[in-house]
A = this chain, B = another copy of it.
Amino acid sequence: MELWYTENHTENVRFSIKVDRHLTSITSEFQRIDVFESYEFGRLLVLDGYLMLTEKDEYIYHEMITHIPMAVNPGIRNILLIGAGDGGALRELCRYDCIEKIHLAEIDKAVVDTCKEYFPKLAVGFNDPRVTVYYEDGLKFIRDKVGVYDLIIVDSTDPFGVGEGLFTKEFYGNCNKSLAQDGILINQHESVFYDEYADSMEKVHEKISSLFKIAAVYQAHIPTYPSGHWLFGFASETFDPVKDLKAQQWNNLGIKTRYYNTELHKGCFALPNNYSNLR
C-alpha cells in the first residue's frame, strides 16, 4: 500500500509526501486538522489541507520568527503571539530567561490540543509558567491593548480562510498601538515566488510600511513550504533589524540553534533584486 499526502502549491504544481499513517483528523469549529506520520519528514500538521509544519524542518521557521527580534532587542520582556497554536515559536522564546510574560492568542483550541498530543516536543512551551493562552480571535484580542508588548509575532496561517483578517491594515494598526514605543512586529509573509501569493504579500508589506517607521523583509529556506523561499516581515519604530543587531550579546546567551546564527541574521535581509517591491 502507498499513501500520499499532496499539497497543491498552485493548480499546476504539486508537492507530495509519502505517509505511513493518518494519525488523526478533527473538524474543529474553525478548520479541519490532520496529522500524518511521514517517512521523510516525521509528523506533519495539516490545516484545511495546507501543510503547516513537519517535524524535520519546523525549526527553521520557528527559529527565524523568534531569534531575529530577540537578537535585535535583548530587552524584550513581554510578548504577544498571535496564532502560533502549534507551540513552535513558544518553544524557542521560552529558552530566554529574560522574558517575563508571553501571551498567546490562538483562535482554535483544537490546534493546541492536537499539538500537545501529537507533537509533544514542539508544544513543550505550553507548560512554561510565563505563558498564558487565550483562545480568542487575535484580531479582537489586540483591540483594547495599548503599549503593552515589546514584541508581537503574527504566526498566521494563510491570507485566506481562518487567518485572513491577520493580513489587514486594521490589524497591523492595532499591532502598532499594542506595542511599546520600541516594540517589534514580526509577521509571517509567505512566499512571493508564485503569482497568487505575490500580490497579497506585496500589499501586506505596503500596509506595514505605511504604519511603521522601519519595515524590512527577511528570508529563510523552508523546504516543505511552497517554493521553499519563505519571507518574514520585521517592523519597528525604533530598531533597524541589521544595524541594531546585538550579535555579541546574543551569542553570549549560549542559545543553541540549528538554523539561526548572527551572521545569517545579517545575510537574510539581503533580498534578490526582483523582490525590490518588498524593500
Contact = CB atoms under 8 A, between A and B. Distances in A.
Interface in A34-48: 38-41
A228 B219 contact: no
Interface string A234-264: 0000000000000000000000011111011
Given A12-B38, A15-B15, A258 B274 contact: yes
A77 interface: no
Contact of A13 (B40, B60, B270, B272): B40
A269 interface: yes
A227 interface: yes
Interface in A12-68: 12-18, 38-41, 57, 60
A15 B12 contact: no
A10 interface: yes
Contacts of A177: none
Contacts of A57: 193
A229 interface: yes
A70 interface: no
Nearest to A257: B273
Given A12-B17, A221-B227, A270 B266 contact: yes
Contacts of A10: 40
Nearest to A11: B18
A268 interface: yes
A204 to B, nearest CB: 19
Interface of A: 4, 10-18, 38-41, 57, 60, 193-194, 219, 221, 223, 227-229, 257-261, 263-274
Q: Which 9 pairs show the lowest CB-CB distances between chains A and B? A: A228-B228, A267-B267, A267-B270, A221-B229, A223-B227, A12-B18, A263-B270, A12-B39, A12-B40
